[in-house]
Amino acid sequence: DAGVTQSPTHLIKTRGQQVTLRCSPKSGHDTVSWYQQALGQGPQFIFQYYEEEERQRGNFPDRFSGHQFPNYSSELNVNALLLGDSALYLCASSLAGQVITFFGQGTRLTVV
Amino acid sequence: QKEVEQDPGPLSVPEGAIVSLNCTYSNSAFQYFMWYRQYSRKGPELLMYTYSSGNKEDGRFTAQVDKSSKYISLFIRDSQPSDSATYLCAMSPVSVGTDKLIFGTGTRLQVFP
């Protein structure tokens, strides 16, 4: 059973550029959440997608957007990258209405 | 004040020691409590979860929740060098639609042979 898979593993972007990160949820899961984890910090909730709609959103600017596809996979887009966006971006999946959440290995984004 | 407080450590113990990891929280709406283990440069791995108060045991790991004190703990018995990692507590309220996880900052644990 494949768990949560993310791509790419690492990414280096220049300030001002745009980036797209991808995620496939654990088999059988229909809800995808994205988290940002800065070095030495716990993950911070960005947003959650269910039935292709954004259901919840954390305290992140509109530069952060996402999408969920009919097969439940998801993308995270970040526009106008800032140096402070450098972090580990984690995708997590769960079943709707259940809190138990599984994480992918993350995409490490470095903005230079 | 952060909703979830966790001592960042590092915590360094000898192999075989009993380890106690703790978190405190301020939001009385939290009902689900989870512990994740995160190895360096990897994603968090779910270790244990509990609902409301009480204890839960799984092998060498025991999770405790004291809602009256807003305090949760993870105990690791017979610690091994392979337990060296960062341990994150996470919490969530029970209402559907508000099930995002709120994390502590993580405690870095090192178990030396």
Using CB atoms, which residue from B6, B101, B104 is nearest to A101? B101
Q: For residue A83, which phi and psi values (nearest 5 degrees)?
A: -55, -35
Q: Which residue of B has its CA nearest to A33?
A: B100
Using CB atoms, which residue from A41, A96, A105 is nearest to B42? A105
pLDDT computed for residue A35 by the predictor: 98
Q: Which residue of B has its CA nearest to A41?
A: B105
Q: Measured between alpha carbons, how far is B47 from B104 in angstroms, rounded to an integer?
A: 15
Average pLDDT over residues B22-33: 92
How far does B40 lie from chain A, in Å, by closest CA? 11
pLDDT computed for residue B98 by the predictor: 58
Q: For residue A51, which phi and psi values (nearest 5 degrees)?
A: 50, 45
How far does B71 lie from chain A, in Å, by closest CA? 18
pLDDT computed for residue B97 by the predictor: 53
Residues of A with CB under 8 A from a CB of B: 4, 6, 33, 35, 40-45, 48, 55-56, 58, 88, 90, 92, 94, 96-106, 108
pLDDT computed for residue A1 by the predictor: 65
Amino acid making up residue B84: S
Are B43 and A40 inside 8 Å of each other by CB? Answer: no
- Provide, as residue numbers in chain A, all residues whose Cβ is less than 8 Å from the Cβ of B103: 42-44
Q: What is the CA radius of gyration of chain A?
A: 13
Q: pLDDT-based confidence at B41, cuts 50/70/90? A: confident
Q: pLDDT tens for residues B56-102? A: 999 999 999 999 999 999 999 999 999 999 999 999 886 655 578 99
Beta strands in A28-111 (DSSP E): 31-37, 44-50, 53-57, 64-68, 74-78, 87-94, 102-103, 107-111
Are B34 and A100 inside 8 Å of each other by CB? Answer: yes
How far does A86 lie from chain B, in Å, by closest CA? 14
pLDDT computed for residue A98 by the predictor: 80
Question: What parts of chain A have a pLDDT lower than 50?
Answer: none
Q: pLDDT-based confidence at B37, cuts 50/70/90? A: very high
Phi-psi region of B31 (alpha: psi -120 to 50; beta: other; left: phi over 0): alpha
Q: pLDDT tens for residues B94-108? A: 665 557 899 999 999
pLDDT computed for residue B94 by the predictor: 64
Are A104 and B103 inside 8 Å of each other by CB? Answer: no
Are B99 and A99 inside 8 Å of each other by CB? Answer: yes
